[in-house]
Amino acid sequence: QQQVKQSPQSLIVQKGGISIINCAYENTAFDYFPWYQQFPGKGPALLIAIRPDVSEKKEGRFTISFNKSAKQFSLHIMDSQPGDSATYFCAATARTGNQFYFGTGTSLTVIP
Amino acid sequence: KAGVTQTPRYLIKTRGQQVTLSCSPISGHRSVSWYQQTPGQGLQFLFEYFSETQRNKGNFPGRFSGRQFSNSRSEMNVSTLELGDSALYLCASRIDLGTEAFFGQGTRLTVV
């Protein structure tokens, strides 16, 4: 059973456009939601994370929107750049949980 | 501050052999988790160690085992390797539950 569902599987965006990746979860015990960026041959790198006490968090061009009632959260990449081309994973965990539950990943391609 | 270090980066093993992978967490981090990443299954949780104790284990056969040393370094072992064990094995380090997790570069294991 997939604890965190991520969509779309792949995304192609023009340079300068907005990339949007969505995730949904079921377990209401989850209270920490990070996003990871992974380049080929590398490990996932923590990009940005949010806790459910806020509805939005912004760091540079990256924004997480969080909807607690809908149990959904999304990553917005503003002014997308070719260097943003990577696979993005959402994840969720509980404060007392030992493991992260990951989405299946979104392969983002930003076309120059 | 040094990141999470995993060694070796690449391994090729023959079916039936065993393998040991190593992970050195970020200084001060006492929690080490291991994940298996494959194209078909995504990131799957193997186990988590804290202060030399395994606190949680994922749904993997007993051929997969691990341990953690007093300096928080961790090793995972896979015995009687199968072709399906070919994957990127990732180690994540964090201070404790409820905190950010940082991944190493991973060890790419190929079983032939």
> What per-residue string of b and e applies to B28-49 under the rule 16 or more CB within 10 Å gives b?
ebebbbbbbbeeeebbbbbbbb
Contact: B43, A97; criterion CB under 8 Å: no
CB atoms within 10 A of CB A46: 15
Backbone angles phi, psi at B111, to 5 degrees: -105, 125
- Report yes or no: A52 at the B interface, CB cutoff 8 Å: no
Q: Which residues, including other chains, have CB under 8 Å from residue B91's CB and lie 6 or more apart? A: B4, B6, B21, B23, B25, B32, B33, B34, B35, B74, B103, B104, B106
- Which of A42, A49, A103 faces B100 most closely, judged by CB atoms? A49
Burial class of residue A99, CB neighbours in 10 A (0-12, 13-18, 19+): buried
> Can you say how many angstroms the Cα of residue A55 is from the centroid of all Cα atoms in its chain?
14
Per-residue model confidence as pLDDT tens for chain B (112 residues): 679 999 999 999 999 999 999 999 999 999 999 999 999 889 999 999 999 999 999 999 999 999 999 999 999 999 999 999 999 999 999 998 878 899 999 999 999 9
Determine how many CB atoms are found less than 10 A away from the CB of residue A87. Answer: 17
pLDDT in tens, A8-56: 999 999 999 999 999 999 999 999 999 999 999 899 999 999 999 999 9
> Is residue A50 within 8 Å of A66, Cβ to Cβ?
yes
Which member of A42, A95, A98 has the closest CB to residue B105? A42
**Cβ neighbours for A91, distance < 8 A, ≥ 6 positions apart:** A4, A33, A34, A35, A36, A100, A101, A102, A103
Q: In this complex, do A45 and B103 lie within 8 Å of one another by their Cβ atoms?
A: yes
